């Protein structure tokens, strides 16, 4: 297997100098602590080494480049160029990495019952925070009575981000997704359960590799057909990950990504009466009179969420640095001949 064909770049090659004698490979599938890794010599079933566990650095996830021992032990995870991450669900502190080293994120929404503009906004911010190019994919286009209307509304909230309407079940326009990913690049399918990600993947692969299930008639929701994060090489020469359905999607820091997405609000704000206008109840606020209230409410919510997450991250980093400083000070103090 040629490494360049599965995303190898100079960014990763430069890091291998610190790991002489080890073999680079890319994580293609993650199942708890078992990993399928692609190398130049083929696929390897790998596990994290004791050293990797002790050091508690980067933990492997699908899309990562890792350094392997001949026995299949993962000794190190190379720094990521991009990543898709969210705040840990359930109120836990810290980040959860969903996928690493992506170029494109196909955000899939179903046009039966799943279409939710607010959720799409979250995904777009999430992608931009991680340095990934988002593309909105409106699946099940054959089931919507006003396709032109829903496409127009989606383009309004997406700005310059591409919007594609497809039908994975019927095969409509699926091949048009190829224009967004070059050979050797990596994309991922993300969205709620039941939006048709697995069907879309099968269409792009040209064969039935992923199981599919029907959604409930009442609310259009589906079971978690995809339960592992797995990467596939497509006939078109690029790679595609199928991510399990995501229910919670809380942002980490990165308020700038929120501002960048809501350019209609930031541009309109230039006409506000006050420079420090918060766009809430101020007199002469141009934003309140021009922007859809639901979109404005989403803007406020995402910006506050990102700011809160950033404060949590800064506090956690400060506490970790303080803890390390205490350990270093104690080690120096305990050295023979140390005089406080």
Give the SS3 label for residue 123.
Answer: helix
When pLDDT is cut at 50, 70 and 90, the band that residue 241 belongs to is very high
How many other CB atoms are found less than 10 A from the CB of residue 210? 18
pLDDT at residue 222 is higher than 50: no
Rounded to an integer, what is the distance from CA 108 to the centroid of its chain?
A: 13
Distance (Å, whole) CA 208 – CA 211: 7
Q: What is the DSSP string of 146-198?
A: -HHHHHHHHHHHHTTS-EEE-BTTTTBTGGGGGGG--TT-EEEEE--TTSSHH
Give the CA distances from residue 25 to residues 95, 115, 180, 191, in Å, rounded to whole numbers and listed in that order: 24, 38, 25, 28
pLDDT at residue 114 tops 80: no
Evaluate if residue 216 carries a pLDDT over 50. no
135: pLDDT strictly greater than 90: yes
Q: 240 has which bridge partners?
A: 187, 232
pLDDT of residue 96: 83
pLDDT confidence of residue 217: 46
What whole-number percentage of the chain has pLDDT above 90? Answer: 47
76: pLDDT strictly greater than 50 = yes
pLDDT, tens digit, for every residue of 24-47? 999 999 988 899 999 999 999 999
**CATH numbers and ranges of domains, the chain:** 3-77 (2.40.50.140), 83-242 (3.40.50.300), 251-340 (1.10.40.50)
What pLDDT, on the 0 to 100 scale, is given for residue 327? 60
Mean pLDDT of 290-298: 85
Give me the sign of the Cα torsion angle 118, 121, 123, 126: negative
Q: What is the pTM of this model?
A: 0.80
Q: Is the pLDDT of residue 164 over 80?
A: yes
pLDDT tens profile 49-70: 999 998 878 899 999 999 999 9
Residues ≥6 apart with Cβ < 8 Å to 146: none
Q: Are 64 and 25 in contact (CB under 8 A)?
A: no
Tell me the average pLDDT of the chain. 84
pLDDT value at 191 more than 80? yes
pLDDT of residue 33: 87
């Amino acid at each position: 297997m040629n490494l360049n064909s599965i995303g190898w770049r100079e960014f990763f090659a430069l890091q291998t100098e610190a790991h002489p004698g080890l073999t680079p490979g890319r994580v293609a599938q993650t199942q708890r602590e078992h990993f399928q890794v692609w190398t130049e010599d083929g696929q390897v079933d790998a596990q994290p080494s004791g050293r990797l566990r002790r050091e508690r650095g980067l933990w492997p996830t699908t899309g990562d480049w890792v350094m392997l021992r001949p026995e299949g032990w993962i000794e190190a995870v190379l720094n990521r160029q991009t990543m898709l991450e969210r705040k840990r669900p359930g109120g836990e502190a810290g980040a959860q990495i969903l996928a690493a080293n992506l170029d494109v994120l196909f955000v899939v929404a179903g046009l039966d019952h799943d279409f939710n503009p607010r959720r799409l906004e979250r995904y777009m911010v999430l992608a931009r925070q991680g340095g990934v190019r988002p593309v909105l994919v409106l699946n099940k286009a054959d089931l919507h009575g006003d396709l032109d209307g829903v496409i127009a509304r989606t383009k309004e909230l997406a700005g310059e981000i591409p919007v594609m309407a497809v039908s994975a079940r019927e095969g409509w326009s699926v091949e048009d997704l190829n224009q967004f990913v070059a050979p050797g690049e990596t994309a991922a399918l993300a969205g709620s359960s039941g939006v048709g990600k697995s069907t879309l993947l099968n269409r792009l692969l040209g064969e039935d590799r992923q199981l599919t299930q029907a959604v409930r008639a009442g609310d259009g929701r589906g079971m978690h057909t995809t339960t592992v994060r797995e990467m596939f090489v497509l006939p078109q020469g690029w790679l595609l990950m199928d991510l399990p359905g995501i229910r919670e999607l809380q942002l980490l820091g990165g308020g700038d990504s929120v501002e960048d997405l809501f350019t209609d609000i930031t541009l309109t704000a230039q006409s506000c009466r006050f420079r420090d206008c918060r766009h809430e109840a101020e007199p002469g606020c141009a934003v309140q009179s021009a922007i859809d209230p639901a979109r404005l409410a989403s803007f406020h919510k995402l910006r506050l969420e990102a700011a809160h997450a950033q404060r949590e991250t800064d506090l956690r980093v400060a506490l970790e640095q303080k803890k390390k400083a205490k350990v270093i000070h104690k080690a120096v103090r305990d050295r023979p001949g140390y005089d406080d």
